[in-house]
Structure formats: C-alpha cells, structure tokens
Structure 1
Amino acid sequence: MSLNSIFQYFTPKDKKVFFPLFEQAANNAVVMATILVEAVNTTNPATREDLIRQIDKLENKGDEITHQLYLELGKNFITPFDREDIHQLASAIDDVADNIQGAANRMSLYRIDDFNEHIKKLSDLILQGSIELEKAIKELRDLKNKRNIADSCIRINSIENQADHIFDRAVADLFLYETDAIRLIKYKEILSSLETATDMCEDAANVMESILVKNA
C-alpha cells in the first residue's frame, strides 16, 4: 500500500460526515426558531398548536442529528478539529433546539395565549442568533473565511446581551405588575427557556472562536 493510500485511509471524510451534520443541526435550529416566531405572533390557537407540534418533531430530528454526530466522533480516529470542540458544538446546537421546544411546550401546556412584546422580542433574537450560527457553521468546512465566522460570533454575542436585557426587564415587569402568582411563574419559565436558547447560541459561538484560535 502506498503512503498516499495510508493517509487516505486514516483521513476522515469530514466533508461527508461532520460538517454536513453540523449544517443540518444548525439549519434545523433555524427552522425551529422561524416556527417559534410564527407561533408567538399568530392569534389563532389552533394554528399555534399545529406550529408547536412541528417544533416537537423538529426537536426529535435534532436529537437524531446530534446522536449521529456523537457516533461519528466515536468512529473516526482523526477529526477535522478537536474532539472536545466537536462535542461541545454539537451539544450547544442541540441545547438551542431543546430550549426552543421547552418554551413552546410550556406555552401549550400552560395555555398561554397572550404573548407580550418581551416574548416576541426574545423569539426574534433566537431566530437572529440561529441564523448567525448557521452562517458561521457553513464557513467551518475549510476555514478560508475566518473573518466571516468571527463576525457572526460577535453578532451572536451582541444578540445574547440584548436577550439578557430583555429578560431582566421582562422579569422585573412581571414582579411589578403581575398580581397572579401562578401566571407569573408560567411566564417566567417561558421567558427563561427563551433566554437560555440565546445563551446556547453564544456557547456555540464560543466554541467556534476556540476553533479559530486553534487553527490560526
């Protein structure tokens, strides 16, 4: 066997394995976030319930993609970047999807049909963060456009900071104006899941920044 054949054997087919899976996971999060925005803006309860069911199905799809990434991580001797970074990035994207689903399910279970501006703004920020996340992940294939990845990570950090501010304001308003303790708890849990989704976008951005540093 020639030396080239040996290298070919041990080199992972990352473009056929890891990167497509990451891109599928990121795109799945974007679709979920898009549907979430539709759900909090519709005034039709039946439409909202249908949208939430779609989010459930997509979260299951995301779990399958994440599981496949973990399987490939175990099977491949050589990986396109650090194994820990692959695991953390996959987990962060999965957590974005989990928290979108968590917020949507609470809206349904708690029978919330009055979506205030705080919930709508946080949902919009999740969508913005997911879109930037997908953009950055698409650039990971060859790392030629590192500036584009860095710019998306910066925007994700800014989005997360905005989400923190909105969340703090939303919780403050709940304690100031909401007199129904049960309703207050319901809204706070939904807001918390939404804000955590933006945190997970930032976690993914932090992993990508780490990858950029290691591949500088």
Structure 2
Amino acid sequence: MSLNSIFQYFVPKDKKFFPLFEQAGSNLIDMAKLLQESLYSTDPAKRTQNAKQIEDLEHKGDNITHQIHLELGKNFITPFDREDIHALASSLDDVADFIHGAANRIELYKVANPSQAMKEMTDLILEATEHVAKAIFELKDLKNIRNITDSCVRINSVENKADYIFDKAVAELFEYEKDAINLIKFKEVLSAMEDATDKCEDVANVLESILVKNA
C-alpha cells in the first residue's frame, strides 16, 4: 500500500484535527465581521464593544491552537505531516493576532473617523478569511483539491488588492495629512490590516504545501 493510500485511509476517520481547524477558520470569520462592523459604525460604544468581543475571540483562537498542539502530542497517526499541522495552526493563529491587533489599535488610538481605505481593507480581510475557512473545510476531503486550490488563488488575489490599497493609502497620507499624530495612527492601523491579509496568504501557502505533498 502506497503512502498516499495510507493517507487517504486515515483522513476520513480523523475526528480531532479537522474539527479544530474548522473551528479556527470559523472563528476568523467572526473576528473579521466584527472588525468590519466596527469600521462602518459611527457609534464609539459599539466599537468598544466589538473590540472586546474580538479580544475574546482571539483568546478562543489561542485555545484552539493550544488544543491542536495537545492533540499532536497525544496522537501518533495524523491526517497529514505533523510539521504541516503545526504550520497551519500557527498561521491561522497569526491571522487572529493581526485582526485583534487592528481592532486594538483603532480602540487605543481613538480613531473616530476611519478612512475609506480602512473600510476597504476590512472588507478584504473578511473576504480572505471566508476563503481560508472554505479551503480548510475542503481539506478533510482531498478529492476536492481544485476547490482548495481555487480558494488559495483567491486569497492571493485578495492579498494583492490589500497591498495596493495599503500602498496607495500610505502615499496619500504622506502627501495630504498635515497632522503627524494622525498620520502615524492611520498608518499603524492600516499596517495591521495589511499584515492580516499577509497572514491569510501564509495560510494559503501552507495549504498548497499540504496539497503538493499529498496529491
């Protein structure tokens, strides 16, 4: 029996790792939705409430990552390489960290009037996390490799759009913003948002590596 056959034999029986990964993906979507809601809201109290919820979800994500690592220590047989399980868990955790970081900066810096670029960035973060969650959901059935690949391509496309919006927004800040403090605030928030999309691309890279090894 080939290694691939062995892999395919065990994948459908996994009851531990895939549910945890799916929880992590769903958690990212919830965080991204709250961030988007905050950026489009004009209610400071609502933004504060959302920031607290995002922080709670970030802690939830940490717990999921910890559980995945515990399962790695307890299980000899895993659905794919242990290194890839660790890399996927870490990359998902990184996305959560930067979504939380963006929300935290908005709250701490008291950004009362988010820019259009920030709103566009948060739209892209939500889109990227939705593609991440979709790809992870398909991961348990590698017969749908095309679906996973398609999600990865879309994540990369979103990241490219985010890069463009970030670069353009920062250039406009340097050209038109005369208040140095506001310039720093806005740049820091935009940077955290752009980093979140970068981390989504890291997830896609890990997923593509898994596909190559198990095709």
> What is the 5 A alignment of 1:24-63?
24-63=23-62
Letter in 2 for 1:147: R
How big is the shift at 1:88?
1.0
Q: Pick closer, same or farther for the CA change 1:160–1:14 going to 2, 3 Å.
A: farther
Q: How many residues align?
A: 207
Identity of aligned residues (%): 62
Alpha-carbon spacing, 1:75–1:138, altered in 2? closer, same or farther (3 Å): same
Residues 1:143 and 2:156 are matched in the alignment: no
Tell me, what secondary structure is at the counterpart of 2:151? helix
Question: Which TM-score applies when normalising by structure 1?
Answer: 0.93
Give the conservation status (yes or no) of the 8 Å contact 2:11–2:141: no
Summarize deviations over 1:30-67 as a string: whole Å, max 9, x none: 00001110000001111111111110110000000011
* Contact 1:32/1:55 (8 A) holds in 2: yes
Amino acid at match of 2:91: A
Provide the TM-score with structure 2 as the length reference.
0.93
Moved over 3 A (4+): 11-14
Distance 1:166 1:117 in 2: 10
| Offset, 1:137 | 0.2
Q: Deviations over 1:103-159 (max 9, x none)?
A: 101111111111111100110000000000000000111211100000000000000
Following the alignment from structure 1 to structure 2, what is the Cα–Cα distance between the partners of residues 169 and 71? 43
Unmatched runs of 5 consecutive residues or more in structure 2: 1-5
1:14 Cα deviation after fit: 6.0
Cα distance in 1 for partners of 2:27, 2:117 equals: 24
- Once the two structures are TM-superposed, the CA of residue 12 in structure 1 deviates from its matched residue by 8.7
Q: Give the 3 Å change call, closer, same or farther, for CA 149–58 of structure 1 in structure 2.
A: same
**Within the alignment, does 1:187 sit opposite 2:186 as a pair?**
yes
Query: Per-residue CA shift, 1:2-37, capped at 9, x if unaligned?
Result: xxxxx9xxx699631100000000100000001110
Match for residue 197 of structure 2?
198
The answer to whether the 8 Å contact 2:11/2:140 transfers is: no
Task: Answer whether contact 2:35 2:50 (CA < 8 A) is retained.
Answer: yes
| Structure 2 match to 1:153 | 152
